[in-house]
Structure 1
Amino acid sequence: MKVTVLIVCLLSTSLADDPINTRYFPKDFKFGVANAATQIEGGWNEDGKGETIWDYWAHNYPEKINDRSTPDIACDSYHKYKEDVALVKAMGLDNYRLSIAWSRILPTGHPDKINQAGVRYYKNLFAELKEAEVEPMVTLYHWDLPQPLQDEYGGWLNETVVNLFAEYAKICFELFQDDVKMWITINEPKQVCHDGYGTGGAAPGVVSNGVGEYVCAKNILLAHAKAYHVYDDEFRAKNQGRIAMVIDTTWYEPGSDSEEDQEASERIVQFMLGLYGNPIFNGNWPQVVINRVALRSEQEGFATSRLPVLTDEEIAYIKGTYDYLALNHYSTYMVNATAEPAIGDPNFGTDTNVVAWRPPDWPSGSGSWIAIVPWGLRHLLVWLKKTYGNQEIVITENGLSDNTGTLEDDDRISYYQGYLSACLDAIYEDGVNLTTYTAWSI
């Protein structure tokens, strides 16, 4: 099943100064939509499913969620998955990205008890997709750690969870090897670690800024690598599938042509994306991250860097654990260098040593945190090609939120027009090996 997209709109003031493309996407280019279990399934405790950190967060700290919504029912996809698949089929899409809820397969997160009702749910969903001739793109972990693993081990701050994730991944590879050819290990580790174990702004709400998020980063990279090697060693020959980890970042455009601002742009992108991408594609943490965290740690009185060391064995184990580059991207900031911050408590922001901002005339969606800056995506794609080689890039999320509560989607239409146009520029003008575009969300 193929979709041909032709962008034919006139110039739009909502897209800054860039004209809209009138070129076609390559014949084999794929389009899809995405979602995640916690955000769509509902059935949070039905048929043996265990509690996740987001279930616990929503039930115990409802004030921390803007509209006090919960995963309890969500879009009720647990009961309405056939309607979801019908929508995907009606749009003529190639791919449907979804996530498996770890706690729906293993209620406690441990591999000792498989929840057969959860297995049936995903088997039925995959069968429906096969009937619709839509390929599933399946994420094993989209932020929804089983709550018992947070309670017992401290979640991603404990290396025990590395092994438990690999065991969970192996079970999924075994259960769904006839259904899934496109795997994603972990979605947006930056969000998991920075928000969940750094600022504490998201589940599980651990506040350990400038410390916990780096410990989390190392453990998540090892968990991804271990799952990759399990697949590579035990399932690839038969399954003939592909596997990667989703990395994400906002693009940070230099605020001027000065050398300092150019360096600030490179530095913040390496902290935001390179922290997770560089160990996989090049090996080890980015050098600028190593240097900055070591410098700040020493000034703060730490005996060693707050950034955990990756041993030679770990570097080799993580490097090369990808079959494609999976990317989530939504928006752009301008960035400037700033004076060295005063020494205080550890902080990820002061580690980066930049100031990010947006011009007031940049358009955004109604009530959205997302500015509509299509050229930022193009610049990011070119940066990825330059930094990691011309890897196959699969955009796994891109989209615009709003709070209007209406179906008047002018802002979203402008957003997609602009970002798809930027994809075409990257493909035809910059030679970026972009093969798939996935809209967030269904």
Structure 2
Amino acid sequence: MKNIPTGFPADFLWGGAIAANQAEGAYDVDGKGLSVADINEFTDKVALDKKYNLELTTDYVKEAMQSEDRVFPKRWGIDFYHTYKEDLKLLSELGLKTFRTSINWTRIFPNGDEAEPNEEGLKFYDDLIDEIIANGMEPMITLSHYEMPLHLTLAYKGWYSREMIDFFVRFSQVILDRYHHKVKYWIIVNQINLIVHESFNHLGIAEDVVDDLTSAKYQGVHHEFVACGLVTKYAKSLNPDLQIGMMLCGGPAYPATCKPEDVFATVRNNQMEYFFSDVLLRGYYPGYAFRYFHDNGITVEFAEGDEEALKHTADFMSFSYYYTRIVDEESMKNKTGPYRNTELPANPWGWTIDPIGLRTFLNLFYDRYQCPIYITENGIGYHDQLEDDDTIHDPYRVDYYRAHIEQMKEAIKDGVDLRGYYAWGPIDIVSCSSSEMSKRYGFIYVDQDDYGKGSQKRLRKDSFYWMQKVIATNGEDLD
């Protein structure tokens, strides 16, 4: 009988992940255009648990593009565009084996529909990828991570427009041609199922240019599915050994009670979370999705060749894990969806802490797909205190990671083929959902406030030294 694993595989990839739009800054440097993230506004007048990038109108987009007095922190990020060499040295010191980042579409095609790429943008990523490798880290590159050119939301209708497929495939081909010999691991679309809280950020569909926004979102995702298939096909033509991944945000919800009605409502909810990975890993639309579309008056149009494109499926599954939610019959009827389990502790933003949920998701995903899995984001935001002696004591972060790593180890013992783990924001960056700097995830502190002010010094937190030890012992020493 085969023995169960006793710990993490010897070649386990311990990593960290960021997004270009949250870190690089330099939003108007070297020919870069404006992306959807560049109009994510920071305001301190909204409750912490209500800060999200929701639907936007074209008027909002135009006003934000022209505004000179509103605060858009992703335009400056942490200035990673100029500090990446020093930052990557620190991450190498932390012990990271791999580093995930994205390539900002607007650095390569500022408007998105140009015929030729911007060579200055490509030169930056030439240097960045070389530097990642020089620091002993395996690069994992995301092609679409909330960096769609704003021009494509105004001149077209974001991903609702079928033209987006060709624009994105052209961008992806340029990147793959340039880096396929240096980068093995790719994610085509970040958190492809996130079409509620990151609706505009993800799909770039202004709510006032379509008659039915819900149908438009699913049509946009369908166009992304087709683009993913075409990009995967092209990548494999360059090198069949490239590893192409798909990525979800989170996963299935728990039933709020054991009532059969609540359990079945949860099944229905979870099916439409699995929908995205079912298509990208199995290569076709499942029957439950057509039932969901019918029951909710949603229309998705297929063009000739779409079904064939979907057959080019991903090699691995990945997902971000931050919290779990619960569902009952009433929330499904009212279309309010999953909600917070108040029995679980949470951070100030209402993100619940559920380490066992990570083991649960890993088992559910592996049972369903039987393919390699990478956790490509995991972490928690807190307000950190910078002491007078430049130290940052963050035992809460150590506790969080310890509990989640323990559950990862249990999932591996369960038989899950978990290949890698990417801590989200190993260095502090601007928050995706709330565009604030004070929601900190990193093992490395960046001395900068929500308005971009500060020394920008990089300082190792207590958690830096703890995580350094964890990686050095391949997850064995968690004390």
So what's the TM-score if we normalise by structure 1?
Answer: 0.81
Match of 1:324 among 306, 316, 333: 316
Amino acid at match of 2:231: A
Deviations 1:398-440 (A, max 9, x none): 1111234553323322221111111111110x21111101110
Q: 323-332 vs 307-316, which deviates more?
A: 307-316
Match of 2:230 among 226, 232, 238: 226
Deviations 1:341-387 (A, max 9, x none): 4xxxxxxx73xxx753334341122x233211011111111111222
SS of the aligned residue for 1:24 comes to coil
Contact kept, 8 Å, 1:250 with 1:330, in 2: the verdict is no
SS of the aligned residue for 1:338 comes to helix
Deviation at 1:286, TM superposition (A): 3.6
Amino acid at match of 2:124: Y
SS of the aligned residue for 2:147 comes to coil
Amino acid at match of 2:338: A
Task: Name the CA distance, whole Å, in 2 between partners of 1:432 and 1:412.
Answer: 25
Contact kept, 8 Å, 1:56 with 1:147, in 2: the verdict is no
Unaligned runs of 5+ in 2: 42-60, 387-391, 427-479
Deviation at 1:209, TM superposition (A): 4.1
* Corresponding position of 1:3: none
* Corresponding position of 2:130: 127
Match of 2:174 among 140, 155, 171: 171
Change in Cα spacing, 1:404 to 1:278, as seen in structure 2 (3 Å) is: same
Task: Name the CA distance, whole Å, in 2 between partners of 1:369 and 1:203.
Answer: 25
Q: Does 1:403 align with 2:383?
A: yes
Task: Name the CA distance, whole Å, in 1 between partners of 2:341 and 2:39.
Answer: 38
* Corresponding position of 2:290: 290
Task: Name the CA distance, whole Å, in 2 between partners of 1:194 and 1:201.
Answer: 10
Contact kept, 8 Å, 1:392 with 1:435, in 2: the verdict is yes
* Corresponding position of 1:432: 416
* Corresponding position of 2:35: 52
Amino acid at match of 2:322: Y
Contact kept, 8 Å, 1:368 with 1:403, in 2: the verdict is no
SS of the aligned residue for 2:186 comes to strand
Task: Name the CA distance, whole Å, in 1 between partners of 2:289 and 2:385.
Answer: 42
* Corresponding position of 1:381: 362
Listed as ranges, the matches of 1:186-201 within 5 Å are: 186-191=189-194, 193-195=195-197, 197=199
SS of the aligned residue for 2:11 comes to coil
* Corresponding position of 2:352: 371
Change in Cα spacing, 1:78 to 1:355, as seen in structure 2 (3 Å) is: closer
Contact kept, 8 Å, 1:93 with 1:134, in 2: the verdict is yes
Q: Does 1:358 align with 2:361?
A: no
Deviations 1:135-181 (A, max 9, x none): 11001110110112122111111110111101110000111223211
Change in Cα spacing, 1:194 to 1:55, as seen in structure 2 (3 Å) is: same
Task: Name the CA distance, whole Å, in 2 between partners of 1:112 and 1:251.
Answer: 41
Match of 1:333 among 325, 329, 332: 325
Task: Name the CA distance, whole Å, in 1 between partners of 2:232 and 2:330.
Answer: 39
Q: 208-217 vs 312-321, which deviates more?
A: 312-321
Change in Cα spacing, 1:320 to 1:265, as seen in structure 2 (3 Å) is: farther
SS of the aligned residue for 1:189 comes to coil
Deviation at 1:315, TM superposition (A): 3.2
Amino acid at match of 2:395: D
Q: Does 1:215 align with 2:219?
A: yes
SS of the aligned residue for 2:27 comes to coil
Deviation at 1:57, TM superposition (A): 4.6
Deviations 1:316-347 (A, max 9, x none): 42134211112112110122222874xxxxxx
Amino acid at match of 1:411: Y
Deviation at 1:118, TM superposition (A): 1.2
Contact kept, 8 Å, 2:160 with 2:216, in 1: the verdict is yes
Contact kept, 8 Å, 1:41 with 1:75, in 2: the verdict is yes
* Corresponding position of 1:252: 253
* Corresponding position of 1:308: 300
SS of the aligned residue for 1:109 comes to coil
Unaligned runs of 5+ in 1: 1-21, 298-305, 342-348
Change in Cα spacing, 1:340 to 1:183, as seen in structure 2 (3 Å) is: closer
Amino acid at match of 1:356: P
SS of the aligned residue for 1:156 comes to coil
* Corresponding position of 1:206: 206
* Corresponding position of 1:158: 161
Change in Cα spacing, 1:378 to 1:310, as seen in structure 2 (3 Å) is: farther
Deviations 1:170-207 (A, max 9, x none): 0001112232111111111222x33455xx58784723
Change in Cα spacing, 1:274 to 1:313, as seen in structure 2 (3 Å) is: farther
Greater helix proportion? 1
Higher RCO (CA < 8 A, seq sep 6+): 2
Task: Name the CA distance, whole Å, in 1 between partners of 2:339 and 2:198.
Answer: 24
Listed as ranges, the matches of 1:99-138 within 5 Å are: 99-138=102-141
Task: Name the CA distance, whole Å, in 1 between partners of 2:192 and 2:249.
Answer: 8
* Corresponding position of 2:452: none
* Corresponding position of 1:275: 275
Contact kept, 8 Å, 1:270 with 1:286, in 2: the verdict is no
Deviations 1:101-146 (A, max 9, x none): 1111122213423222211111111121221111110011101101
Contact kept, 8 Å, 1:363 with 1:372, in 2: the verdict is yes
Task: Name the CA distance, whole Å, in 1 between partners of 2:136 and 2:115.
Answer: 34
Amino acid at match of 1:212: A
* RMSD, aligned CA: 2.5
